[in-house]
């Protein structure tokens, strides 16, 4: 199964490269993925849940894309508070032939570290095992899925050594993903004066399975009281969505072949 998926990703990459060379490239489809949902609430703060904030920001982002870039088709992995399996989120993007995959999440820290705040954006990678905390947390939802071991080829989200297996699914679009992630981080800093935790390569399962440039952006720490109020507010959500839109515009301008 792993080899089959790897071959599919490599084939998609080859086809994409040939298309780029043959004709002018345009970003036509963007998939927006609101993290968690339904019986998978994600992290919780004092006044909110990750799944709700992620959905609200995603909907705002989709609306802004449609207004500013009407030629781009926007697809959501969910539009309501429903449960969508991680493999299905990537499958939606792959089936649509998406040009970008953007997953929206909130970060969290355990007690004793609730002073930590800031934004960070993840791209697919199998970096040092001790730096995989965020990936382990985001991948943990698969334990709530039926027959998750067969769906994910025996992948165990609680075992950091599982990330070694994910190296077999090397993201062909790594460089583009990193460029886009940096644009998102730069927009957060320059537009909203947010504290940046940078771009990180981690073994996030949903990103590993995407056959296009893909990022997971952590828009703030729901465990930090001050930052939770910001990302819970309509103003904060609007600013986050606007910054991601700005990154999309810049990426689109830089990547499209005239």
Residue 95: strand, helix, or coil: helix
Q: What whole-number percentage of the chain has pLDDT above 90?
A: 62
Mean pLDDT of 212-230: 97
Quick one: how far is CA 244 from the chain centroid? 12
pLDDT-derived band of residue 55, with 50, 70 and 90 as boundaries? very high
Mean pLDDT of 56-77: 98
Domains in the chain, start-ordered, CATH in brackets? 2-255 (3.40.630.40)
Residues 6+ apart with CB under 8 A from 166: 124, 126, 155, 203, 205, 208
Closest C-alpha to 117, from 22, 228, 19: 228
- Only one residue has tokens 């952590």, namely 218
pLDDT-derived band of residue 210, with 50, 70 and 90 as boundaries? confident
What pLDDT does 126 receive? Answer: 59
Phi, psi dihedrals of residue 32, rounded to the nearest 5°: -105, 130
Instruction: Output DSSP code: residue 215.
Output: E
- If you count them, how many residues does the chain have? 258
Sign of the alpha-carbon dihedral angle for 72, 49, 86, 80: negative
- Check: CB of residue 243 under 8 Å from CB of residue 188: yes
Quick one: how far is CA 59 from the chain centroid? 15
Instruction: Look up the pTM and report it.
Output: 0.78
Phi, psi dihedrals of residue 110, rounded to the nearest 5°: -75, 165
- Check: CB of residue 85 under 8 Å from CB of residue 150: no
- Tokens representing residue 1 in the block: 């199964």
Lowest mean pLDDT among 78-87, 117-126, 155-164: 155-164
pLDDT-derived band of residue 142, with 50, 70 and 90 as boundaries? very low
> CA–CA separation, 165 vs 183, rounded Å?
29
């Amino acid at each position: 199964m792993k080899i089959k998926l790897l071959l599919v990703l490599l084939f998609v990459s080859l086809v994409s490269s040939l298309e780029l060379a043959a004709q002018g490239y345009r970003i036509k489809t963007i998939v927006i993925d609101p993290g968690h949902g339904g019986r998978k609430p994600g992290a919780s703060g004092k006044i909110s849940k990750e799944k709700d904030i992620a959905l609200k920001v995603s909907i705002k982002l989709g609306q802004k894309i449609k207004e500013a870039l009407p030629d781009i088709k926007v697809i959501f992995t969910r539009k309501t508070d429903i449960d969508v399996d991680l493999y299905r989120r990537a499958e939606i993007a792959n089936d649509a032939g998406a040009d970008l995959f953007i997953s929206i999440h909130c970060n969290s820290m355990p007690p004793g570290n609730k002073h930590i705040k800031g934004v960070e954006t993840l791209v697919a990678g199998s970096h040092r095992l001790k730096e995989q905390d965020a990936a382990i947390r985001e991948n943990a939802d698969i334990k709530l899925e039926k027959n998750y071991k067969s769906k994910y080829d025996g992948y165990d989200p609680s075992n950091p050594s599982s990330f070694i297996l994910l190296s077999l699914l090397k993201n062909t679009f790594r460089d583009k993903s990193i460029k886009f992630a940096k644009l998102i981080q730069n927009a957060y800093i320059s537009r909203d004066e947010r504290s940046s935790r940078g771009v990180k390569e981690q073994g996030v399962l949903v990103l590993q399975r995407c056959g296009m440039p893909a990022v997971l952006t952590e828009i703030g720490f729901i465990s930090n009281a001050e930052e939770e109020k910001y990302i819970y507010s309509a103003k904060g959500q609007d600013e986050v969505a606007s910054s991601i839109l700005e990154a999309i515009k810049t990426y689109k301008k830089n990547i499209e072949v005239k």
